[in-house]
Structure 1
Amino acid sequence: MSFDEALLESDDEELMWQERALCAQTDPEAFFPEKGGSTREAKRVCLTCDVRGECLEYALAHDERFGIWGGLSERERRKLKKRA
């Protein structure tokens, strides 16, 4: 296995949580609302999601600036990062 293949395999394993994410079975527009739109529906889905922690970790590590990730909005994630 080449170095590049090993990196790709590592990335695939790292993102396997996405296959178990409840948002993958839901309307994606709920997780990326228009500016000023409601985040309530997306956050309700996140509350019962088994991979909420992995999702939030991913968003923080990759500086996701849009959407609901791990049950938090971009503003909430920014505040969380400032506290850390």
Structure 2
Amino acid sequence: MSACRDTDPSLFFPVGTTGPALDQIASAKAVCDTCEVAEPCLRFALETNQDSGVWGGLSEEERRQIRRQARAAAARRNAS
């Protein structure tokens, strides 16, 4: 069962990326750190291009970075 099940969903969708939003992101990640389904949650977020919120313990920017790296790796493979 997901650790976030009984948590207010708004915790996982902070507004902004500075100040209080950083504290909120850290709190959301702390919930994810205790979750037994964090990995499939993250996989779902990446596969379905979830742009907002904390999913599987990663922030919006962290997931964007993973997608950028995956696109760059795919481009290198296709160029070979």
Report the TM-score when normalising by structure 2.
0.76
The answer to whether structure 1 residue 23 and structure 2 residue 9 are counterparts is no
Equivalent position of 1:34 in the other structure = 15
Return the structure number with greater relative CO, CA threshold 8 A, min gap 6. 2
The answer to whether structure 1 residue 82 and structure 2 residue 68 are counterparts is yes
Matched pairs, number: 65
Runs of 4+ in 1 over 2 A off after TM superposition: none
C-alpha distance in 2 between matches for 1:25 and 1:67: 17
Q: CA deviation at 1:74?
A: 1.1
C-alpha distance in 1 between matches for 2:56 and 2:37: 8
Runs of at least 5 residues in structure 2 that lack an aligned partner in the other structure: 71-80
RMSD over aligned Cα atoms: 0.9
Equivalent position of 2:34 in the other structure = 48
C-alpha distance in 1 between matches for 2:53 and 2:68: 19
C-alpha distance in 2 between matches for 1:34 and 1:78: 17
The alignment-based identity, stated in percent, is 45
Q: CA deviation at 1:22?
A: 1.0
The residue matched to 2:31 in structure 1 has which SS?
helix
The residue matched to 2:42 in structure 1 has which SS?
helix
Report the TM-score when normalising by structure 1.
0.72
